[in-house]
A and B are shown apart, each in its own frame.
Chain A
């Protein structure tokens, strides 16, 4: 008995010492400061490899579908072997980029600003990219790919978060997002919504049109009161939600079975539902949120020249056309439409359509709509709010 208690105390003290050692080893230091890398002035020799972090479907080398391959020509032309990794959410992208293992990233607007602020990506000298000139002007030097007039990347493509509806339930297309918000109760249990804090912006877009007294000018610049209003709207919506989706295949399936009849969606989901499924998509009159993706270069890239070569290549008409067509979004250049047939479906280059889209932007404390008299809610506040909405 005594022996066993002796042994037990030995084990306990071993654990305590180990824990203590681990704790001292970790220590405590302040948060690391970020340094701004200088813009590259001229191109050098290719390094031979480039590692790319991208959304699924952006970097295809024929391994998923032998006919879909725009990596092979790039490797042949530049001699840069591509290593790629995909991510599922913008947040995962930011986390992975922090490892410093990647040269290039395809960042959506809700990741790009965070990467810039974290010092993870470098300014991009667009003068070194010959295909930059062909890119739609309304995509250049936007809030989500530049800071104070300094470009931090090149646009890849863009798309809108659409309203998908079951045509049996809605014989005429709904014209307003109200069918998923305050008039959603007839479809209780069959409403779906995107499962991310960034979806709060969709509620804000709706409130911009229907509650002008809140004074929302930009759905990504919400002060405390405005965020509270959006949260209330989403909490009311929560009671009618059948399920939230972040995996697009899950959304495809629930619209096919009829478990969801109305909710936010992407064009690629509409393209993926089985033919004969009674669904259609629309952009309601309030406008919509959307994404505009940017290729960015890591601030400590091991292969900056191959990275520049990739940025130039992926915005070339053929590669950009193939990549954006495969994913299901509008390309960044008009010339890309020569290499795909479905540009019209995505309203490529339609400036009026593009202006209806509020592209994903990371909400930050310094209001992105230019207000200086209030502090806006940042992304972590949105994350907390989103968890409370889901309950």
Chain B
């Protein structure tokens, strides 16, 4: 190395300082302001959330306080509590509410009972390969349209349908169209939504705990009851929220296989569609919302939401 040799370029000089393009300036500006960064990131989803939940709910509440001119169908925007009072005191709405809750609870119960063994098999017994196949099989019905599945059940339950064909040799009959058919169909439709959270919950239960339980002499049921179930509880609750809330709002299935019965959704639908009475429909729609609030509050008290 000679003295007058040019000094080797330092690393610093090798990279020319980046050009101050607009995006770069912006990123420099943002990097110093974490709060602004966060608020920009969250603005879009929060705006959507506000629009969908808060504004829609507020609009619903406001509409429920209006009335409609029965003949011309024009909404008269003067405040009144008549609709709410009608809905709370009317015997029709009480009967239908109780029926809807009953259907939703039964659907949820059936779904949980069916989902538990399936999810357990998927998570703990099946091989990895089998597991994938089963997850796809569970998801498969979601690829088909809701309407197609409901109509499929309509033909399955019809006179001369598959159910009757199977049940006849045993001296049984198809339930026909009605509430039992509605419960069967809804339980079928929402099953994937219950299986998946329970399956995910079971995946988190370590096998070592099951082995430990068995090493300590616990039988199958004891292990399930004392180890698996408490750990699984939040997942079951999550699944039940899906099936319960989806059943509470359904009106299409009951229209297709429900025979002559109606649920809260049908009352809302017929008040919007047939009677053109949006305010009353809005008042009725507040019932399932109130019930869901109660349901979530109860669930919260059990502590099941804490580890979700």
Contacts and interface: CB of A to CB of B under 8 A. Distances in A.
Nearest to A363: B71
A114 B59 CA distance: 26
Contacts of B256: 250
B161 A257 contact: yes
B190 interface: no
Instruction: Give the interface size bracket for A toward B.
Output: 35 or more
B121 to A, nearest CB: 36
Interface string A298-317: 00000000000000000000
B276 to A, nearest CB: 5
B73 A383 contact: no
Given A23-B58, A242-B176, A31 B74 contact: yes
Instruction: Give the interface size bracket for B toward A.
Output: 35 or more
B176 A387 contact: no
Contacts of B276: 91, 94-95
Contacts of A365: 71
A343 B133 CA distance: 58
A379 B176 contact: no
Interface stretch (A14-22, A35-43, A45-53, A62-70): A14-22
Contacts of B96: 391
Contact of A189 (B161, B176, B277): B176
Contact of B260 (A387, A388, A390): A390
Interface stretch (B27-35, B135-143, B152-160, B234-242): B152-160
Contacts of B223: none
B270 A387 contact: yes
Contact of B159 (A31, A98, A259): A259
A32 interface: yes
B72 interface: yes
Nearest to A364: B71
Contacts of A244: 260
Given A15-B54, A197-B274, A257-B161, A95 B262 contact: no
Given A28-B79, A114-B71, A117-B71, A22 B273 contact: no
Contacts of B50: 18
Given A258-B159, A388-B92, A91 B78 contact: no
Interface in B160-211: 160-161, 176-177
A171 interface: no
A89 interface: yes
A387 B267 contact: yes
A152 to B, nearest CB: 15
B70 A380 contact: yes
Nearest to B258: A243
B95 interface: yes
Interface string A360-391: 00101100000000000011110100111011
B77 A29 contact: yes
A241 B92 contact: no
Nearest to B266: A390
B69 interface: yes
A380 B158 contact: no
A30 B176 contact: no
A40 B270 CA distance: 36
B275 A22 contact: no
B63 to A, nearest CB: 9
A253 interface: yes
B82 to A, nearest CB: 12
B95 A383 contact: no
Contact of A118 (B59, B72, B79, B160): B72
A254 interface: yes
B289 interface: no
A390 B74 contact: no
Which of B58, B72, B92, B159 is packed against the most chain A CB atoms within 10 Å? Answer: B72
Interface string B197-237: 00000000000000000000000000000000000000000
Contact of A18 (B55, B75, B258): B55
A362 B274 CA distance: 13
Given A243-B260, A364-B71, A387-B92, A23 B62 contact: yes
Interface in B50-86: 50, 54-55, 58-59, 61-62, 68-79
A271 to B, nearest CB: 21
Contact of B78 (A23, A28, A362, A391): A28
B259 interface: yes
A241 B260 contact: yes
A156 interface: no
Nearest to B78: A28
Interface string B22-43: 0000000000000000000000
A185 interface: no
A92 B176 contact: no
B55 A22 contact: yes
Given A26-B62, A30-B76, A390-B260, A196 B274 contact: yes
Given A18-B55, A243-B260, A390-B262, A31 B275 contact: no
B190 to A, nearest CB: 23
A275 interface: no
A379 B161 CA distance: 39
A257 B77 contact: no
B273 A94 contact: no
Given A89-B273, A242-B259, A383-B274, A19 B54 contact: yes
Given A19-B58, A23-B58, A364-B71, A258 B160 contact: yes
* 8 tightest Cβ-Cβ pairs between the two chains A and B: A380-B70, A31-B76, A118-B72, A383-B275, A257-B158, A243-B259, A241-B260, A19-B58
26 contacts: A19-B58, A22-B55, A22-B62, A23-B58, A26-B77, A28-B78, A29-B77, A31-B75, A31-B76, A95-B73, A95-B276, A118-B74, A238-B260, A241-B260, A242-B177, A257-B160, A259-B158, A259-B177, A362-B71, A379-B70, A379-B275, A380-B68, A380-B277, A383-B274, A386-B270, A390-B261
Given A91-B275, A259-B177, 19 more contacts: A18-B50, A22-B62, A26-B62, A28-B78, A30-B76, A30-B77, A31-B75, A92-B273, A118-B71, A189-B176, A241-B260, A243-B177, A253-B158, A259-B159, A259-B176, A380-B277, A386-B270, A387-B270, A390-B260
